[in-house]
Amino acid sequence: MTTTSPNQIGIETEAGQQKGSVAVALLRITLGVILLATWWGNIGDDFYTADGFKGFLDWLVLSGEEGGNGSSLTFFHDLLDATIVPVAGLAAFGQLIMEGLAGLLLVVGGATRLASLWSMGFFAILFLSYFGGEEWIWTYVLLFMAALTVFLGYGGRQLGLDQIIAKAKGSSFGGLIW
Amino acid sequence: MNNQLTKDDLPGQQKQLTTALWPIAVARMLIGILWLYALRWKLPPSFDGRGETSLREWLELAVEHAAVAPYGELIESLVIPNFAVFAWLVFVAELLTGLSLLTGTLTRAGAALGLALSLNLGIAMLDVPGEWPWSYVMMAMWHLLFVLSAPGQKWGVDAWLTGNGTPSSTVRLLTSTPKD
């Protein structure tokens, strides 16, 4: 059982938590804006196509000297090659829908638990994909932690649609949607 | 203690509005490690990159690809000619931010310093090829969250600083401690 008395060592304070939830809403909106901005940029670059996806996977393992990322987790790239490449067109279309939808949901604070859960998986995959290469890997640590915090902190219950939905409908299925 | 509440004592709506501090505390420690890890390529007295892009090279890139012209001019005319002074300032600021966030000591002060550093990095790196500006937006947002919340109250020295007796108003301010 978690106590909420203020000013005790190692104990979550109630006032701190309430301030945190507004801050988590700001984190959620930032995360959503980042997803949407990247999504929009990727559309302009024809990324969400079979060729775009395959090209990205090739670039990940290409060495830094050859202009690639030089990722080092070969087992993970073997896994991506085996699972994504055969269905690259479908995977690209799924990514187009999910990335845009998750960004939108995070910005408006709707179905935030589901959107942040999906984002956690997405950022974890990106972390493993880029690991050991030229890309600044901390970016994906920051993004993953942001999605985790939004998920655990019910990020849509402040400044979000989830606040209204929860009031009208109560909890979602296992709390996994809002 | 009769002034303690449990989460179960809170009204239903309030329970849902509260946020667990532990993921914020984990993020605080990770970002503290990030700042300390970034010191490895700007160590005094030489501040050279030790095989990576050095601080001086980053400053030259910020001038070459300045997104905000006056900022680039400031780096070129003031910072680079006085490199040693500013390199020490950057080193000490990042060291203090990293230690503050990692240990949860005077976290609001450390987070405010980290916010300023993140915004500075964001402006400097905005147009540098290969940099993703959203990384710095995310960093700034995390530090703002640390300023607004009380992440040092969970697994941090701030909890100890404010847990014994009545902390002074300065300690309250620097640790984001709520009033009783």
Contact assessment for residue A136 and residue A142, using Cβ atoms and an 8 Å cutoff: no
Out of A24, A142, A167, name the one closest to residue B139 (CB).
A142
Domain extents in chain A = 16-175
Say what the ipTM of the complex is. 0.84
Q: What does the DSSP assignment read for A77-118? A: HHHHHHHTGGGHHHHHHHHHHHHHHHHHHHHHTSSHHHHHHH
Band the pLDDT of B171: cuts 50, 70, 90: confident
Interface A:B, Cβ pairs < 8 A: 152
Q: Mean per-residue pLDDT for A36-40?
A: 97
CA-based nearest distance A115→chain B, Å? 17
Domain extents in chain B = 21-175
Could you read off the pLDDT of B66-102 as tens digits, one per residue?
999 999 999 999 999 999 999 999 999 999 999 999 9
Spatial CB neighbours of A54, under 8 Å, sequence gap ≥ 6: A85, A88
Band the pLDDT of B177: cuts 50, 70, 90: confident
d(CA A173, CA B46): 58
Closest to A56 in 3D by CA, of A29, A85, A99: A85
Contact assessment for residue B158 and residue B172, using Cβ atoms and an 8 Å cutoff: no
pLDDT of residue B4: 38
Residues in chain B closer than 8 A to A2 (CB atoms): 6-7
Out of B26, B31, B162, name the one closest to residue A7 (CB).
B162
Out of B138, B154, B176, name the one closest to residue A142 (CB).
B138
Query: Are A3 and B138 an interchain contact pair (Cβ–Cβ within 8 Å)?
Result: no
Q: What is the pTM of this model?
A: 0.87
